[in-house]
């Protein structure tokens, strides 16, 4: 059964699975996507426990790792994604100094996860080990006001769009 108060969605690169962050129930629902008609079927075991205030999602560039912003727990949770069935397996949690993580994005190289924080403002850079999914602290950047979302634009994508 799907969780409560869905707050973010992301589809894997293959288009086979939809992941939904459920802020109210602190978990992630996973749905298989029917390629013929787009219908959704919740996978076995879903929803999966994530973090208090699960508020944002991001997938790494390979689709191997799912990152969940735990807004109320001030952390990022990392799951390894089973490419066949879409099942997430908890790998770890990374505590943040900035409060209220609200948005996540992986840079195009797959080496960094950027996290905005809407309670304290700013952007936290986490280094991403592409082989293990492990996150380690990088640099912080403060912004005026409260940062609530983030987008990374690839130069290659920009050049292709022109």
Note the pLDDT of residue 162. 35
CA dist., res. 138 & res. 29, Å (int) = 29
User: For residue 94, what pLDDT is reported?
Assistant: 95
**Ranges under pLDDT 70 in the chain:** 1, 139-162
25-32 contacts, C-beta under 8 A, 24 or more apart: 26/50, 26/51, 26/52, 26/53, 26/54, 26/70, 27/3, 27/54, 28/3, 28/54, 28/57, 28/66, 28/68, 28/79, 28/88, 29/2, 29/3, 30/86, 30/87, 30/88, 32/86
User: Is 1 domain-assigned?
Assistant: no
Q: Which domain holds residue 13?
A: 6-161
pTM: 0.86
Tell me what pLDDT residue 137 has.
Answer: 86
Q: What is the pLDDT of residue 123?
A: 87
| pLDDT (tens digit per residue) in 71-111 | 999 999 999 999 899 999 999 999 998 899 999 999 999 99
Q: H-type helices in 38-135, by residue range?
A: none
Measured in whole angstroms, the distance separating CA 5 from the mean position of its chain's CA atoms is 16
Kindly report the length of the chain: 162
Residue 13: inside a domain, yes or no?
A: yes
Domain containing 108 — which CATH number? 2.130.10.10
- At residue 121, the pLDDT reads 80
Domain count, the chain: 1
Residue 98: the pLDDT is 85
């Amino acid at each position: 059964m799907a969780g409560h108060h869905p707050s973010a969605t992301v589809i894997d690169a293959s288009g086979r699975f939809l992941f939904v962050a459920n802020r109210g129930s602190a978990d992630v629902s996973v749905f298989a996507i029917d390629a013929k008609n787009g219908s959704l079927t919740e996978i076995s075991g879903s929803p999966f426990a994530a973090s208090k205030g699960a508020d944002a999602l991001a997938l790494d560039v390979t689709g191997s790792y799912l990152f969940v912003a735990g807004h109320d727990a001030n952390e990022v949770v990392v799951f390894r994604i089973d490419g066949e069935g879409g099942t997430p397996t908890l790998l770890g949690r990374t505590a943040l100094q900035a409060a209220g993580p609200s948005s996540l994005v992986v840079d195009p190289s797959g080496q960094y996860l950027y996290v905005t924080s809407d309670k304290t403002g700013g952007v936290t850079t986490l280094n991403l080990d592409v082989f293990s999914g492990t996150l380690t602290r990088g640099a912080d950047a403060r912004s005026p006001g409260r940062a609530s979302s983030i987008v990374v634009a690839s130069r290659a994508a920009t050049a292709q769009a022109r």
